[in-house]
Structures are given as structure tokens and as C-alpha cells.
Structure 1
């Protein structure tokens, strides 16, 4: 009996405990958004964008960070099934951590499952409304679903928070999300 109890404790998943609350970094992100809006060029904006990603990719605890890092590594190695399983565990463990949903959405996007990507992006956006990566990812997902008007609106929201996104080219005259009536 003692062996069974010890075995079950040892085999319990890391996420069996509660995930701590995601730290509130809204003030820091707001300041970074203000800074990136004032950046003179893409080169000046890059370190500010990197700081934003450092905040978003900082998981609430070590267990969540390990899941996030493992999922990213799996996806980078084209193990999409493994990455999705890992991001599933991350979102189960830390349901208030937007980046878990964002990274799972990106994995769904990579395998062209746009409806699942959009669902995760909507959750992430509810949790982190000014997350530029979620905003631009949602715009790209909508674009791939053929929902160009909604994609255009979402991309504009992303560009309002970071005018130096590489995706800004999609909003130029003649581009897929460019102004309507000016695509000739």
C-alpha cells in the first residue's frame, strides 16, 4: 500500500498544483507600447519589441516555463503534435496565461487549422488585449480564412500598438489588407 501511494505521488503531473496568477505587467507593457510608437525606425523599435516578448514569454512559474519552453522546442523541431499536447497541458495548468493560448494558436496556424487558431487567439486576446503578437496573429489567421475586412481591422489594432511590425506591408496600397478600392 505504501508503494502505491508513493508511486502515485511520484507520477502526479507537475501541473497537479495550481498555477500562480500571471503577474500584472500591463503598466510595463503600456510604457513599452508608448515607446515603440515613438521609435524613429524599425531598428530602434526592435529592442522594445524584444522587451515585450520577454514579458509575454515569462511564464507564471517554473513548471509553466518548462511547458512553454518544451512546446516551443517541439514546434521548432516540427513536432506539431507534441507541441500541441504540451501547449494543451500549459493551458490546462495556467488557464489565465495568455501566451499558452498564443503559442498553441501559432502551432494550429502552422498546421493550417485556422478555426482552432482563431479560438485560441480570441482567448489570448481576452486575457491580454494589447498583446501585439496575438493581434497580428489573429489578423493573419483571419486573412487566411478569407475574412479580409475583419483581418484589416485587427491588423490596424496591432499596428496601433506597434507600427513597426513586419506585417505592416500587408496594409500598404495594393497589398491584401491594404485600403479597399486601392488594390489596383
Structure 2
């Protein structure tokens, strides 16, 4: 974020010389400058923390260290700022783990309705649709997720898997490559890029 600096020029006004006492009387009282408003450090905001973490993730070349950074990003994404939304997300997660997908969708439908700017709500619903093989609905939710958070490597990974499973290998490869521009040390993305590149080369594409 650019910080714009305003430069002020002081003008010296010349006039008739006055005795020292008169000069003192002529001087206006010194104005007390207003206290400087210091903006909060960028890292103290959620967006600032994410920007810092994504920068670290791109630069990190140790796989385990990168996984820890990715985990911190997921933690930031999971925080909705609403206790009720967080609770519904927990219920949806439990229902998903129990393979009660319809129940999970009921909760996630409420999440995205109540808080449509919460990217992880859309991503979680995309995951449930993917598990149900509702690929069209999953892709629609992935699109919502990426509009809110274009760096969401989880959503991009889901898109890549859908493309692969529906036979669109080139699109899958491109999605995995996007993942690697965000998270270069993601092992699964590296493996998929290698595998798909070889398969497409063998097919003459």
C-alpha cells in the first residue's frame, strides 16, 4: 500500500525591522501541532498478516517450514470473526467427517448466506460438493472463493483435481502451476505438475 507524503514549504515573510520587544509582541503564539496519527502496523491487521505470510510462503525453500507457514495461513482463513459462523463451520466439519454431506451442506448454506464475504465458507462448501461429485456446484463455489481470496491454494488445488477427474488435463496442469506460484514447496502440486506434464507430452499436447 502506497504511503503518500505531503511536503509543506515554509515561507519567510520579510518586513520592517522592529525593536526586540515589538517583535515579541508581533509574534503569534506558537501553535501546538496536532499529535501524529500513526497507522497500525500492517501485520496487525488480518490482511496484513496474510500478505506477510504469503510473502514468506513464496520465499521459503524448506518443505517443512513452508508447511508451517501454510498452516498459519489456513488458521487465518478459518477465522470468520463470528462465534456463530465458527460454530456452524465446526458442525459442518464434523458432519463431513461422518460423511453426512447433506447435513454439512445445510450448515454451509447458512454460512455463505449469513457471511458471503467469508472465503473459507465457500471453500468448505466447494469441498463437500466435490466429495459428493457435484463438480459443477463445487466449481461455482471455488469461483466465489477465488474472487474473495485469489491466493487460496486450497481452492486452486480443488479446481485442479476436478479438471483432472473430468479429463481436462491441460486445465488441471495450469491450475497446479498457479498453486506453485503461490506455494512453491507444495509437494502434491509439484508431483501433479510433473505427472501431468509427462502425460500431456506423451499425448503430443
Q: Same fold (TM over 0.5)?
A: yes
CA distance, structure 2, for counterparts of residue 177 and residue 111 of structure 1: 28
Give the aligned partner of residue 7 of structure 1: none
* RMSD, matched Cα: 1.9
Judged with a 3 Å threshold, the aligned counterparts in structure 2 of structure 1 residues 178 and 95 are, in CA distance, closer, same or farther, namely farther
Judged with a 3 Å threshold, the aligned counterparts in structure 2 of structure 1 residues 149 and 25 are, in CA distance, closer, same or farther, namely farther
Say which of 170, 178, 186 aligns to 1:157: 178
Task: Work out the number of aligned pairs and report it.
Answer: 159
Give the aligned partner of residue 189 of structure 2: 167
Q: Confirm whether residue 35 of structure 1 aligns to residue 56 of structure 2.
A: yes
Give the aligned partner of residue 98 of structure 2: 77
**CA offset at residue 80 of structure 1?**
0.8
Give the aligned partner of residue 119 of structure 2: 98
Give the aligned partner of residue 17 of structure 1: none
**CA offset at residue 26 of structure 1?**
3.1
TM-score (norm 2): 0.72
Gaps of 5+ in 1: 1-23
CA distance, structure 2, for counterparts of residue 147 and residue 25 of structure 1: 36
**CA offset at residue 94 of structure 1?**
0.7
Give the structure with higher Rg (CA): 2
CA contact (8 A) 2:159 2:175 kept: yes
CA distance, structure 2, for counterparts of residue 136 and residue 25 of structure 1: 23
CA distance, structure 2, for counterparts of residue 47 and residue 132 of structure 1: 15
**CA offset at residue 93 of structure 1?**
0.8
CA contact (8 A) 1:139 1:150 kept: yes
